[in-house]
Amino acid sequence: MDDQAIKEILITEEEIKKRVKELGDEISKDYIGKEPVVLGILKGAVVFLSDLIREIKIPINIDFMAVSSYGKSSVSTGEVRIIKDLDYSVEDKDIIIVEDIIDTGLTLGYLKELLVKRGAKSVKICTLLDKPERRKIEIDVDYMGFKIPDEFIIGYGLDYNEKYRNYPFVASLKEEYYK
């Protein structure tokens, strides 16, 4: 690990484990008698999704989408591109979008609208991290792990230029690494 890149550890591995369990319990309770589709947004949410689904105690289906509004930049372009679409229809299904971080809200706003147009019965959002200071559109977050400050974040699935995803914690990245 490149510990020199870390500015500060914001959320420890233990804090993440505790909160993920709580989120899994909450989702399990809210969806009793239903079989939601847990929709992971690649690549960042894969670590969170893997831990989360082990804490969900009801039947679920899993699908993935890959979308981008960043490219290789550290700032969102605002244009959402679908890189990998769903494998299955969402028509008449309860969908839980699992995201690593909500920043501007543009990507999730686009995805939620798209899934509703495709006939989803319901669409809820579960995010590990919320950065409300950067929001450009209003997004209702149904399940949220942690609110974080407006800093560049790495670890637990989040990357900069495809690095740092494997850290078991969430940390801020020193500016000289991404500027």
Compute the distance between CA of residue 21 and CA of residue 128 in angstroms, rounded to an integer: 12
CA distance linking residue 99 with residue 96, whole number of Å: 10
What token pair was written down for 48? 């969170």
Q: Which of 103, 142, 150, 159 is catalytic?
A: 103
Rounded-to-integer distance, Cα 95 and Cα 109, Å: 14
Report how far residue 81's alpha carbon sits from residue 32's, in angstroms, rounded to the nearest whole number.
34
Euclidean distance between the first and the last CA atom of the chain, given in angstroms as a whole number: 20
DSSP 174: P
DSSP 63: E
Q: What is the largest CA-CA distance in the chain?
A: 50
Instruction: Assess whether 103 carries a catalytic annotation.
Output: yes
Q: What angle do CA 115, 89, 31 make, to 5 degrees?
A: 70
**Residues annotated as catalytic (active site), given as ranges:** 103
